[in-house]
Structure 1
Amino acid sequence: MSHSLINQSHLIANIDRLVRDTIFSPVNFDDIKNRLNALYFPFMETLNPDLFYSQTIDSFVYSTDAIVGDLYPSDVIWDHGKTQQFVNNIACYKQDIETEDNAWRYQESQNRQNFESYVRSLLSHYSRLLFVRIDLKYSQESSHTVTIEDFNHHMSKLRELIGNKKTCFEHLQGNAWALEQGYENGGLHCHLLLIYDGSERQSDWHIAKEVGEKWKEITAGLGKYYSYHDPERKQRYERYGKLGIGMIHRDNSQQVENAICTALYLTKPDKVGQHLKVWLPSMRTFGHGIYRTAKRRGLPPITN
């Protein structure tokens, strides 16, 4: 694991925001110049040719390379002239960025349709299911040590455990996960949905805690989690008729629709700012289990 003091994901998120602000917002010239001087050198120090970057990040690299030429990043000072060139250059990539954003929205809408069909199939098959929602992330103190490679490794270990259906994943009948990168702080995190056989598992609060502690174990103490199963939080949603976690009964239409709504938060086409801006080759950012057939009992375990 890299222990550089540079927070890779935070830095990349700041570059993404700089590019979007320059292209899509009224230009504040001094602000752009200051941000270039603060971000350019540390970003170039972390640039990795083995990783894939979003169009905003690639556009930043192309635009700045055309300006600085053979200068070492540490020697570059973003004065008035260079900053003006950057503003002009980055504007040329507006259409490319919009095209990628639209492609991401389309993929999210496709994921959403398929995911909704998957969850509805599960809800139709079981008389009751236990829905557990938890966000997996990293502590503020350790986030600067976590690279995209680390995050991918941790998620691979988690998915393996989910597929094995042991310990806190016993009696799991469905699952889904979505990887995101915070817009404000660039924090890498996972939205996780776990769906258990309600005739076998009942305590959603306890399961959420077990899964969160398992994430801490996987990340060697770097991870933290947020559980949606605090009793007071659940009671607030229940008062407003919005509770979509915990025990969901097939014959209660409101519970079913609330559960669908809760699940679909994992695929929201309007969350463009929170998609991953750096990833490994072949890295998946969303996935869910497989609903094989209406006659599921007696089949081999469903894996991811």
Structure 2
Amino acid sequence: MINNLSVMSMFDTSLFYNESYVMTQIDLFIRKIPYQGILLKEFRKTLSELIVPFKFHDKPGLSYCLSIRIFSDIVALIDRRLEADGFGINYNIIIYLDDNLTKALIGIIKDQGSALKADTEKLKRQEVLNRESLKEYVNQLTQHYAKLLFVRVDLYFDEEGAIDVSMVEYAQYMKTLRNRISNKDGCFSDLQGYAWAVEQGEQRGYHSHLLLIYDGHKHQNDCYLGLEVGECWQKLLNGKGTFFTSNHPDYKAKFRDVGSLGVGMIHRNNAREVANAINAAMYLVNPEKTNQFLKVKLPKMKTFGTGQFNVSWRRGI
């Protein structure tokens, strides 16, 4: 039974319109319950804050991770209960759900604890496979060429862009970017290899990591290339993008001082440089960053990819 005592306040607009943030908060909310539990009042309050933003962003054709699917099932149950009790779809009164119904909803989520854990382990195993694939790919390149220029760039949305962007739009941006990389357009000319990964963070929302491996005989200024790639991203997003490159001299100095620099010019005959480059590349696929997995994506959407080593245009293979 639902006790309709009053109507809650309006949702904060920054929460409402930020798709990535909404989905991330739902994921954290659902995953917390089987292991840490939750007070009935806290459950009702959080549910009431998330359900309307979720409805706003829920679109046909999106593919959700398990935690979001569980939340969607809870929403469907609440919809049916509200209709049965004659309230219609009035989510303002969720904070007044009675204790028995609240406990039942929490119980449904707790019963999914093992499935949620298995889902996380599956994602981690895939990241391990991605890491092994990337390691082999980078090793092939560093053994094939005398010298290569490694450039790392992280691509984000600025504060305004993060609020507005949907997964559908983000996927299109990434498709355009990957096409430019594959076609070696502009700042991507003379690439001998590349890798990319997309993630979804609590603070930075949808974002991507790029590893770009250039012909070391044709390019030497890695910082310049990193800045060029970042500016390419900003233009693609009409000024709503931001970026960070690991190739800035000040940033590189921190790693050079401790002998672990893995970006910039990498020489095949320098085992330390090659090992550092491989280690730096592994940042793209870290199985322990379980909070960075995509919570929402398009069907069959890839979250990681590399170029191919065995291609007809590559000399000497």
- TM more than 0.5: yes
Residues 105 and 272 in structure 1, CA contact (< 8 A), matched pair in contact too: yes
**Counterparts of 1:294 and 1:115 in 2: how far apart (Å)?**
20
The CA deviation at 1:186 is 6.0
Residues 67 and 86 in structure 1, CA contact (< 8 A), matched pair in contact too: no
Moved over 6 A (4+): none
Residues 153 and 246 in structure 2, CA contact (< 8 A), matched pair in contact too: yes
Partner of 1:33: 44
Partner of 1:157: 176
TM-score by length of 2: 0.88
1:77 aligns with 2:97: no
The CA deviation at 1:251 is 1.1
Instruction: Give identity over the alignment, percent.
Output: 36
**Counterparts of 2:254 and 2:284 in 1: how far apart (Å)?**
21
The CA deviation at 1:229 is 1.7
* 2:76 aligned to which of 51, 59, 65: 65
1:287 aligns with 2:305: yes
The CA deviation at 1:298 is 7.6
The code of the aligned residue for 2:198 comes to L
1:121 aligns with 2:140: yes
Partner of 2:273: 255
What are the superposed Cα offsets for residues 123-180 of structure 1, whole Å, 9 maximum, x if unpaired?
Answer: 0001111000010010012211100011101001101111111210111000000000
The CA deviation at 1:6 is 0.8
Q: Which runs of 5+ in 2 are unaligned?
A: 1-13
Residues 44 and 73 in structure 1, CA contact (< 8 A), matched pair in contact too: no
Residues 4 and 145 in structure 1, CA contact (< 8 A), matched pair in contact too: no
Structure 1 residues 144 and 73 mapped into 2: Cα distance closer, same or farther (>3 Å)? Answer: farther
The code of the aligned residue for 2:69 comes to D
Residues 41 and 73 in structure 1, CA contact (< 8 A), matched pair in contact too: no
* 2:26 aligned to which of 7, 10, 15: 15
The code of the aligned residue for 2:232 comes to K
Structure 1 residues 9 and 295 mapped into 2: Cα distance closer, same or farther (>3 Å)? Answer: closer
Q: Which runs of 5+ in 1 are unaligned?
A: 300-304
The CA deviation at 1:84 is 2.3
Partner of 2:120: 101
**Counterparts of 1:265 and 1:216 in 2: how far apart (Å)?**
23
The CA deviation at 1:36 is 1.3
What are the superposed Cα offsets for residues 253-278 of structure 1, whole Å, 9 maximum, x if unpaired?
Answer: 11111100110111111111101000
Partner of 1:302: none
Bigger radius of gyration among the two:
2
**Counterparts of 2:165 and 2:313 in 1: how far apart (Å)?**
43
Q: CA RMSD in A?
A: 2.1
* 1:110 aligned to which of 129, 132, 148: 129
Structure 2 matches for 1:1-304, cutoff 5 A?
6-69=17-80, 70=83, 71-72=88-89, 74-79=91-96, 80-81=98-99, 82-182=101-201, 184-185=202-203, 187-292=205-310, 296-297=314-315
